[in-house]
Amino acid sequence: MNLVFDPKWDKALPDTDRLKIEQTFQKFVLPNTAGKQITFTPLWQARNHRSDLLVTVLINNYSGQAYSFGDTTLKYVEDNAVKAEKTFTLERVYVPPDSSMPWTFIFPESSFINSSINLHGSLICHNLNDLDPPD
């Protein structure tokens, strides 16, 4: 597995955040995880000034082909309860094969299913077939 950064992230990412991402990658992202294609490793969660939920993860692509997100529904889950759900189309997000890439998914307050969010959750995608290879 390789750790890659979107070019805009690579330029703007503070050193402290880059270090945390690299440490998380080294500690939690395992090569050749059997039967897995795409997984998410949580990095941090926050709320912005508009009360949107920002969920930063490592997108881990264990497959042999590159992926981007087209009409992919992700759920933010805390303590086995879905707290927010949103469908993302992110043509800019291109995760090469056998690579991990940090990304922040933004859930607007209108996507909240339960407003009591504690910022200790994770992302799930029930149907990994929703992930489409880029054109």
**Local mean pLDDT, 10-residue blocks, the chain (135 residues):** 93 96 89 72 94 95 86 92 92 89 95 88 72 45
| b/e code 97-131 from CB counts within 10 Å (16+ = b) | ebbbbbbebebeeebbeeeebeeebebebeeeebb
pLDDT at 63: 83
Identify the bridge partners of residue 82 per DSSP, sorted by sequence position: 77
Element (H or E) spanning 26, and its range? helix 15-28
Query: Do 102 and 18 meet the contact criterion of CB atoms below 8 Å apart?
Result: no
